[in-house]
Amino acid sequence: MPRWKPDARERLAVAALDLFAEQGYDETTVAQIAERAGLTRSTFFRHFGDKREILAAGQETLSRLLAAGIADAPTDATPLAAVVAGLERASGEMTSFNRDLSPRLHAAIEANEELRTRDAMKSIGMAAAIVDALMQRNVPEPTAQVAAELGVLAFKVGYRRWADPSRDDDPGELTTYTRAAFDELQAAATGLR
């Protein structure tokens, strides 16, 4: 078995999602994931604390990118414009690898209550990162909370549309989808008055 390859993390994620689909999350072991990926258990644990982390592996990175985009927004940007900057930064980092894994990831999450709960926590973590970044810009907390929820929802809607497995064409960049979803949701919120 090879000791190290530069794509070990991705190989472990693919192996895990394949096994979750084939035999279920609860029945899949770390040893099986490592074996399927052609790696060792110790390599698995260098990348993930446990098999649950595979499904939330990008959460910290995504939250960090959202916050960085907000922090780098022009100083005169409105809270919503800053959230758009965060969405653009985070969405710009997503690749075809993320899109290709999405249907498997979704299937694994939908098949397991614990994973559905963990996925909901991911959204809470993203919102908290956005709120913190906005408050660093002196945005009042209630405003930051509303903007964060809109941003998280826009990311989720845009990502779902971008990763839709039924599409036969190249969907292009995720940024296009998250921005369109944000604009759509902002218009819907304005219509609530």
At residue 6, the pLDDT reads 57
At residue 190, the pLDDT reads 87
Angle at CA 154, nearest 5°, toward 153 and 159?
A: 100
> In order along the chain (193 residues), what is the average pLDDT of each group of 10 residues?
63 89 88 94 92 78 94 97 97 88 82 81 91 98 96 95 84 93 94 81
Say how far apart CA 173 and CA 158 lie, in whole Å: 10
What's 8-53's CATH class?
mainly alpha
- For the chain, the structural domain boundaries read 8-53, 56-190
At residue 1, the pLDDT reads 41
Number of alpha carbons in the 13 Å side-chain half-sphere of residue 80: 11
Q: The domain at 56-190 falls in which architecture?
A: Orthogonal Bundle (1.10)
The H-assigned helical ranges of 38-112 are 41-47, 51-55, 59-71, 79-92, 96-110
Q: Decide if 68 contacts 90 (C-beta within 8 A).
A: no
Do 8-53 and 56-190 fold alike per CATH? Answer: no
